Every structure is written in C-alpha cells, then in structure tokens.
Amino acid sequence: MVYFCRALIYFEQADRAQNKYNEIAMIKIRIIGCGCDSCERLERNVKSAAERAKVEYEFLKVCDYETKMTPILIIDENLISSGKVLSVNEIEEKLEALSWQRK
C-alpha cells in the first residue's frame, strides 16, 4: 500500500502541470512498474487498445523499483489491474466503458 501511495503522489505532481482542458477531454492512463518485460508488454497493449478504441488519452509511465505488484494499470484514477498483463481486448473493453461513462 505504501508503494501505491507513493505512485499517487507522482500522479498528483504530473497532473498539476497539465492543461485543464486536456484533463477533461482525455482519458488518463497510468502504468506503474519497474521497467520489466511485463510492464513493457502492458504499455504496448494499452497503446494498441487506445488506438483501436479511438479514444484520446494521456499516457504516463512511472518507474518505481520498490513496487512489488507490477505492472499496475490505472485509468482515470481507477485501479484496473495489478500484477498481471491485460490483453489488448480486455483493455479496449475498459476504455470503451469509461468513454461511455464520460458522455
């Protein structure tokens, strides 16, 4: 839990630098990891799913070598997965559901 809280601090710092319009218009996608193969695969899957779902997104990857359950996927401040690599289809479903909620 401590590691997850540290990552949220990183997000808050990054969010302060963002334009308010972009914060509203784009889906925020965050990956917390240590740079391992699983983290890299999840990043590729997320970007592919976002392109397939045709959503505008802001992507941030946080490298935290002390995090134990990597990779962690957060979309619009919602914890989506921890400790596993989701497929492109699974991520696409989550993105589409979130984009419908925003409308």
What's the pLDDT at 5? 52
> Going by C-beta distance under 8 Å and a sequence separation of 6 or more, which residues neighbour residue 45?
85, 86, 87, 88, 91
36 labelled catalytic: yes
The string of pLDDT tens digits covering residues 32-79 is 988 888 989 999 999 999 999 888 889 999 887 677 778 999 998 899
Task: Check residues 7 and 19 and name the one with the higher pLDDT.
Answer: 7
Say which of 5, 34, 39, 63 is annotated catalytic: 39
User: Of 58, 64, 50, which Cα lies nearest the Cα of 21?
Assistant: 58
34 labelled catalytic: no
Supply the range of the domain harboring residue 88: 2-102
CATH number assigned to the domain comprising residue 83: 3.40.30.10
Mean pLDDT rounded to a whole number for the chain:
79
Give the number of domains in the chain.
Answer: 1
Say which of 5, 34, 36, 63 is annotated catalytic: 36
